[in-house]
């Protein structure tokens, strides 16, 4: 007798059994809701089997990993299937789109090259103008320094002329006697008082 597990086992038994044998399917009956409890199970209390906590934690972790792996596999298979279907449906469109994108890329690269050339010319002009402006400012600074030097030289020349003019009245060994005689002939009184405006208000008489 074959043990019946499913429909396939029954079919296999039928194929392998001799033609003259009588096939009897062993079907386990089910109790109805109104049938009483079996005498062997009266008063029995179902106690769940003991569960190891460590084993339960390990099983939960492995079951979570299993679910994650299966979910990833399903998503990968689904993505591959959708990609193949999309490639089959839009193969020619993808080629046309790739060709258009390549052509658009070439056009954009040409425009970029032209823009770079234009910016290069503007940059050269700007650098040239900045250089000319820097040279002009440098020339102005040099010219201003030369003018300041010339003014300083003129001031020094004026001071030298004044000193030369004043040197004519200096007392030297050659004109010492003459200056003494002039001082005696023309005495000057420096003993006087002045007011706030600088006027002489009081002066003593020479003796």
pLDDT in tens, 115-125: 999 999 999 99
Measured in whole angstroms, how far is the alpha carbon of residue 164 from the centre of its chain?
Answer: 73
The span from the CA of 106 to the CA of 99, in Å, is 11
More confident residue, 76 or 196: 76
Pick the range with the lowest mean pLDDT from 9-18, 103-112, 142-151, 186-195.
9-18
Q: Are 65 and 72 in contact (CB under 8 A)?
A: no
Pick the range with the lowest mean pLDDT from 40-44, 127-131, 167-171.
167-171
Q: Are 90 and 98 in contact (CB under 8 A)?
A: no
Q: Which pLDDT tens digit goes with each residue over 51-82?
A: 898 999 999 999 999 999 999 999 999 999 98
The span from the CA of 1 to the CA of 20, in Å, is 15
Q: Which residues pair with 202 in a beta bridge?
A: 193
Pick the range with the lowest mean pLDDT from 18-27, 39-48, 58-67.
18-27
Pick the range with the lowest mean pLDDT from 24-28, 53-57, 136-140.
24-28
The span from the CA of 41 to the CA of 35, in Å, is 13
| φ, ψ (nearest 5 deg) of residue 202 | -155, 135
For residue 194, what are the contacts with CB-CB under 8 A and spacing of at least 6? Answer: 200, 201
The span from the CA of 37 to the CA of 40, in Å, is 8
Return the pLDDT at 91: 67
Please provide the average confidence, as pLDDT, over all residues in the chain: 82
């Amino acid at each position: 007798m074959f043990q019946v597990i499913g429909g396939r086992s029954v079919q296999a038994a039928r194929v392998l059994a001799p033609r003259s044998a009588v096939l009897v399917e062993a079907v386990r009956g089910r109790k109805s809701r109104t049938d009483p409890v079996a005498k062997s199970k009266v008063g029995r209390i179902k106690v769940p089997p003991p569960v190891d906590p460590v084993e339960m934690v390990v099983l939960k972790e492995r079951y979570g990993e299993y679910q994650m792996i299966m979910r990833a596999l399903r998503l990968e298979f689904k993505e591959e299937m959708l990609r193949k279907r999309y490639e089959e449906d839009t193969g020619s469109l993808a080629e046309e789109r790739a060709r258009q994108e390549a052509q658009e890329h070439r056009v954009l690269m040409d425009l970029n090259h032209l823009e770079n050339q234009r910016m290069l010319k503007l940059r050269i002009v700007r650098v040239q103008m900045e250089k000319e402006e820097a040279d002009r400012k440098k020339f102005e600074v040099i010219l201003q320094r030369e003018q300041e030097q010339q003014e300083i030289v003129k001031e020094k020349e004026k001071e030298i002329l004044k000193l030369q003019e004043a040197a004519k009245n200096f007392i030297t060994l050659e004109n010492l006697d003459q200056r003494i005689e002039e001082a005696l002939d023309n005495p000057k009184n420096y003993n006087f008082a002045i007011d706030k405006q600088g006027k002489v208000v009081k002066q003593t008489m020479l003796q």
